Amino acid sequence: MTHFIEVYAAAIGVILFSLTMLWVVSVFIKDASIIDIFWGPGFVICNWVTLFMIVGDIADRQWLVHALITLWGLRLALHLFVRNCGSGEDARYQRWRQQGGPNWWLKTYHRIYLFQGLIMMVVAAPVIVVNMSTEQPGLGWLDLIGLGVWLVGFSFETLSDQQLVNFKRNPDNAGKVMNTGLWRYSLHPNYFGDALQWWGLWIIVISAPFGLFTVISPILMSAIFLYISNGVLERALTRSRPGYAEHIRRTSNFIPKPPDNH
């Protein structure tokens, strides 16, 4: 229990410091949305910090999780950086800024940065727990299943992100609904892929001590996508994209499946 507290405290400390420094930068540049780019690297930092706290040889499962979370986090950060570079503050944060009054700069610290940090520390449970002990069995069939699930999720997220980027680059698509490629089968294939990766990581971590109990991580991520992110995005696109309401009627909300053309 003492080691558990030390490892988790170290992860919390480094994330709190990182978020605070990022918040200071956001205040100066008046752009709270830079935290979106930090989301992926935040988990990478959690992993690196807790991985290097290990006393003894690093287990194969720990190296596997290290590789997967680093690949996921850095790819996502690069994608968001390229997508958001030069675009200014996200419209959501602009609205909150207008409604937040003169002290909005201070409110962003706890309403955005600390709140996302709290979510991050819950979601990062598999990443942190797997690094708490070197006394765990070698890689087995559960790890292979988890890796397979993770690879499917990573492919979904990466491909759907790139398909959307290509769609938006075409000026002829301005104001149109993205309903081709993976987006034909799910309203949010990128979110589905992201959630699937967390389920894959959890399956890998099951074999580590106390790994089974970190199921809160993929459950929370799936719930955020299903009940918060999806709804916010769909309401915004329904207002701004003619035909999007019909697209919602025909298309699966989350898990990809053939569209309903009736």
Q: How far is CA 182 from CA 123, 206, 246, 254, 259, in A?
A: 26, 30, 17, 11, 11
Residue of 198, 178, 202 lying closest to 188 (CA atoms): 178
Between residues 92 and 155, the one the model is more confident about: 155
Cβ(204)–Cβ(147) under 8 Å? Answer: yes
Amino acid symbol at 130: V
Nearest one of 153, 157, 195, 160 to 181, comparing CA atoms:
160
Q: What is the rounded average pLDDT of the residues 35-58?
A: 90
- Could you tell me which residues come within 8 angstroms of residue 65 by beta carbon, excluding any fewer than 6 positions away? 47, 126, 127, 130, 131, 201, 204, 205
pLDDT band at 204 (very low <50, low <70, confident <90, very high): very high
- Which position has the higher pLDDT, 6 or 236? 6
pLDDT recorded at residue 133: 79
Alpha helices in 52-188 (DSSP H): 60-84, 91-100, 104-108, 115-123, 125-130, 141-169
Tell me which DSSP letter residue 229 carries: I
Residue 55's pLDDT is: 67
The sign one gets for the Cα dihedral 19, 230, 257, 141 is positive
Mean pLDDT of the chain: 89
Tell whether the model's pLDDT for residue 250 goes beyond 90.
no
Over residues 155-173, mean pLDDT: 93
Mean pLDDT for the stretch of residues 43-68: 90
Question: How confident is residue 237, by pLDDT bands cut at 50, 70 and 90?
Answer: confident
User: Within 13 Å of residue 123, how many CA atoms lie on the same side as its CB?
Assistant: 24
Q: How many CA atoms lie within 13 A of 187 on its CB side?
A: 23
Q: pTM (2 decimals)? A: 0.91
Indicate the burial class of 127 (C-beta count within 10 angstroms; 0-12, 13-18, 19 or more): buried
Question: How far is CA 205 from each of CA 1, 61, 84, 106, 200, rounded to the nearest angstrom?
Answer: 18, 8, 33, 38, 9
- Quickly state the pLDDT bin for 92 (edges 50, 70, 90): confident
- According to the model, what pLDDT value does residue 226 have? 87
Query: d(Cα 204, Cα 147) in Å, to the nearest integer?
Result: 7
Q: What percent of the chain clears pLDDT 70, i.e. is strictly above it?
A: 97
Residue 1 in this model has a pLDDT that exceeds 70:
no
For residue 161, the model assigns a pLDDT of: 96
Q: Which residue has the tokens 């409604």?
A: 99
Interacting residues of 228 by C-beta distance below 8 A, sequence separation 6+: none
CA distance 204 to 122: 17
Q: What is the pLDDT of residues 94-129, one digit of tens each?
A: 877 777 778 888 888 988 999 999 999 999 999 999
CA 128 to the chain's CA centroid: 16
Task: Report how far apart, in Å, the C-alpha atoms of 229 and of each of 152, 206, 232, 250 are.
Answer: 21, 27, 5, 19
Question: What percentage of the chain reaches a pLDDT higher than 90?
Answer: 58
Segment holding 176, helix H or strand E: none
Which band of pLDDT confidence, cut at 50, 70 and 90, is reported for residue 262?
low
Q: State the number of CA atoms in the 13 A half-sphere of 111 facing the CB.
A: 12
Average pLDDT of 239-255? 80
